[in-house]
Amino acid sequence: MNLLLVDDEAPALAKLRRFLADEADVRVVGEAADGAAALAFVEAQPEAVDAVLLDIQMPGRSGLEIAAAMPAHVLVAFATAYDDYAVQAFDLNAVDYLLKPTTRERLAACVSRLRARLAPPERARERQRLTTALHALQPVADHWLVADRGEMRRVLLAEVECVNAADNYIELHSATATWLDRTTLASFLAHPAARGFVRVHRSCAVQPSRVMALEPLGSGDAQLRLASGRCIRLSRRYRDEWLAALRR
Asked if 11 and 108 sit in the same domain, the reply is yes
CA gap 104, 118 in Å, rounded = 21
Residue 68 lies in a domain: yes
Phi, psi of 197 (to 5 degrees): -90, 145
CATH code of the domain covering residue 178: 2.40.50.1020
The verdict on 155 and 109 lying in the same domain is no
Do 100 and 150 fall within a single domain? no
In a domain, 112, yes or no: yes
**DSSP reduced 3-state for 33:** coil
Whether 124 maps to a domain, the answer reads no
d(CA 46, CA 186): 38
Q: How many domains does the chain have?
A: 2
Beta strands 51-54; 2-6: pairing state: parallel
**Pair 99, 191 in one domain:** no
- Between the two ends of the chain, the Cα-to-Cα distance in Å is 48
Q: Name the pairing type of β-strands 211-218 and 221-226.
A: antiparallel
Each residue's pLDDT expressed in tens, for the chain with a length of 248 residues: 999 999 999 999 999 999 998 888 899 999 999 989 999 999 888 788 999 999 999 988 889 999 999 988 899 999 998 888 888 888 888 999 998 888 888 999 999 889 888 876 555 565 566 556 656 666 656 888 887 666 678 889 999 999 988 767 888 999 888 888 878 888 899 888 888 899 998 889 999 999 999 888 877 678 999 999 989 989 888 888 888 887 76
- Tell me the pTM: 0.53
114 and 144: one domain? no
- Same domain (yes/no): 158, 209: yes
Do residues 162 and 224 make contact, with C-beta atoms less than 8 angstroms apart? no
Q: 70 is in which domain, residue-wise?
A: 2-118
Same domain assignment for residues 145 and 110 = no
Same domain, 188 and 86: no
Look up residue 245 and give its amino acid: A
Which amino acid is present at 66?
A: I
Report if residue 131 sits inside a domain. Answer: no
* Same domain membership, residue 54 and residue 84: yes
DSSP bridge partners of 4: 30, 52
Q: How far is CA 2 from the centre of its chain?
A: 19
CATH code of the domain containing 38: 3.40.50.2300
Residues 113 and 145 in one domain: no
